[in-house]
Amino acid sequence: MKKLPEINVTFSELYRILSGPIQSKLLLTGIELKVFNHLSEPKSSDDVAKALGTHPENTRLFLDGLSASNLVVKNKGVYQNTTVTQASLVEGSPTFIGEMFTLMSQMQDDAIADLPRLVKEGPPLPSKETDMGSEEVWLRYAASMANYQRAGTAQQAVELVSGLPEFPTLEKMLDLGGGPGVIGIAIVASHPSMKGVIFDKPSVVDIAKTFIKEYEMEDRMEVVGGDYMHDPIGESYDLIWASGTLNYAIHDIDSPVKKIYDALNPGGVFVSLSDGLTCERTKPENYMLSNLPSALMGQDMGIDQGVIADAMLRAGFKSIRSQTINTPMMPMDLDIARK
């Protein structure tokens, strides 16, 4: 008589991964339908369906899916946002990141939808269609990043910079590739007299101007538009901050790092907060997977842990201190170099 295999294997992790796309779609649909806007206070599924104009029974099932995914809490038949969704997925909140998640998903969709072909045939020839999103999408993404920055990242940057022994004597800083500029604005605002510059593409710094005005920092902040790989970034800085931007220079990392070195005053500090791949480029999970769609399309911007620190050494910085820190999104590498 044929016997069953003598194995004892659990498939729960595989099943969890298989359910992942369902959870992602639940999250994105909740953002699209503005469900979280209605769950700041406990509501029944019928109340939510009435407010949204949706099918009552399927609304209940959808809310149960959100609850199973820990995106809302269900208690005695009523639903309410979690602490995280209340802070990050309710429109109008200064820390609403729903649009950022939606845009990230749109930029990744083409690669993920065509994954079997990309694995078999490789990336397509370069074209506008493979550029991971139009200029308009990238501008919307840059604007949406402001809420991500003020949802904890800017506060963390202030804590890091204000803890530097040089902090009291800093006079001028540069937020390189600063996007909407909220981090640079927050750092400058935490200092009694320091002034700052936000450097990014010309169209992006127009967005930064709106946040400089919002935080009433016109007398202490300015913007410079350009491409830091080719254009001057200014000079006589005491501090240069670069977060999540040197990935775009991964194929010529020495050039911008040397430019940063030259732009600093003697004794100046360069602080880089960057993704860093470890475990043979497979971890951290969030970073590896978020970079995967663009990498499959031939635009790999993954940066290995230690690459920036090594470039700092080659540029001539006299001391470098590196550590991995937890950020609101994922673990990131903090490299602090002194000239």
Predicted confidence band of residue 110 (pLDDT cuts 50, 70, 90): confident
Per-residue pLDDT, averaged over 218-241, amounts to: 97
| Comparison of pLDDT for 29 and 103, the residue scoring more | 29
Which residues contact residue 234 at a Cβ distance below 8 angstroms, ignoring those fewer than 6 apart? 174, 197, 199, 224, 263
Question: Is the pLDDT reported for residue 78 higher than 90?
Answer: yes
Per-residue pLDDT, averaged over 196-221, amounts to: 96
Is residue 313 one of the residues assigned to a domain?
Answer: yes
Is residue 132 one of the residues assigned to a domain?
Answer: no
Per-residue pLDDT, averaged over 135-163, amounts to: 90
Q: Write down which residue in 49, 70, 93 finishes a domain.
A: 93
Cis peptide before 94 (omega within 30 of 0): no
Range of weakest confidence among 123-137, 159-173, 222-236:
123-137
How far is residue 128 from each of residues 60, 131, 135, measured CA to CA in Å?
A: 41, 5, 10
Q: Say if residue 280 is in the same domain as residue 168.
A: yes
* pLDDT at residue 178, as a whole number: 96
Is residue 136 one of the residues assigned to a domain?
Answer: no
Domain span holding position 80: 12-93
* pLDDT at residue 56, as a whole number: 98
Is residue 328 one of the residues assigned to a domain?
Answer: yes
* pLDDT at residue 108, as a whole number: 85
Range of weakest confidence among 22-26, 65-69, 127-131, 319-323:
127-131
Q: Give Dmax over CA atoms of the chain in angstroms.
A: 86
Could you count the other beta carbons within 10 Å of the beta carbon of residue 4? 5
Q: Say if residue 160 is in the same domain as residue 76.
A: no
| Comparison of pLDDT for 170 and 128, the residue scoring more | 170
Q: Write down which residue in 63, 93, 123 finishes a domain.
A: 93
Is residue 3 one of the residues assigned to a domain?
Answer: no
Q: What is the pLDDT of residues 237-248, one digit of tens each?
A: 999 999 999 999
Give the whole-angstrom CA distance, residue 196 versus residue 219. 10
Per-residue pLDDT, averaged over 10-27, amounts to: 92
Q: What is the pLDDT of residues 160-188, one digit of tens each?
A: 999 999 999 999 999 999 999 999 999 99
Predicted confidence band of residue 261 (pLDDT cuts 50, 70, 90): very high
Choose the most confident range, by mean pLDDT, from 61-70, 112-121, 295-304: 61-70
Q: What is the pLDDT of residues 330-339, one digit of tens each?
A: 999 999 999 9
Per-residue pLDDT, averaged over 130-149, amounts to: 75
Per-residue pLDDT, averaged over 118-143, amounts to: 72
Number of domains making up the chain:
2
Question: Is the pLDDT reported for residue 129 higher than 60?
Answer: no
Q: Say if residue 46 is in the same domain as residue 163.
A: no
For residue 186, the domain's CATH number is 3.40.50.150
Question: Is the pLDDT reported for residue 130 higher than 70?
Answer: no
Range of weakest confidence among 92-101, 106-115, 222-231:
106-115
For residue 86, the domain's CATH number is 1.10.10.10
Q: If you average pLDDT over every residue of the chain, what do you get?
A: 93
Identify which of 51, 62, 6 has the alpha carbon closest to the alpha carbon of residue 29.
62
Say what the pTM is: 0.92
Is residue 24 one of the residues assigned to a domain?
Answer: yes
CB 69 within 8 A of CB 81: no
Identify which of 214, 199, 95, 84 has the alpha carbon closest to the alpha carbon of residue 144.
95
Supply the angle between the helices 307-315 and 254-263 in degrees, to the nearest 10.
50
Q: Name the pairing type of β-strands 172-176 and 264-274.
A: unpaired
CB 95 within 8 A of CB 105: no
Give the whole-angstrom CA distance, residue 271 versus residue 200. 17
Predicted confidence band of residue 127 (pLDDT cuts 50, 70, 90): low
Question: Is the pLDDT reported for residue 190 higher than 60?
Answer: yes
Q: Write down which residue in 93, 111, 133 finishes a domain.
A: 93
* pLDDT at residue 112, as a whole number: 84
Identify which of 111, 169, 153, 151 has the alpha carbon closest to the alpha carbon of residue 296.
111
Q: What is the C-alpha radius of gyration for the chain, rounded to an integer number of angstroms? A: 23
Q: Which residues pair with 228 in a beta bridge?
A: none
Which residues contact residue 23 at a Cβ distance below 8 angstroms, ignoring those fewer than 6 apart? 69
Predicted confidence band of residue 134 (pLDDT cuts 50, 70, 90): low
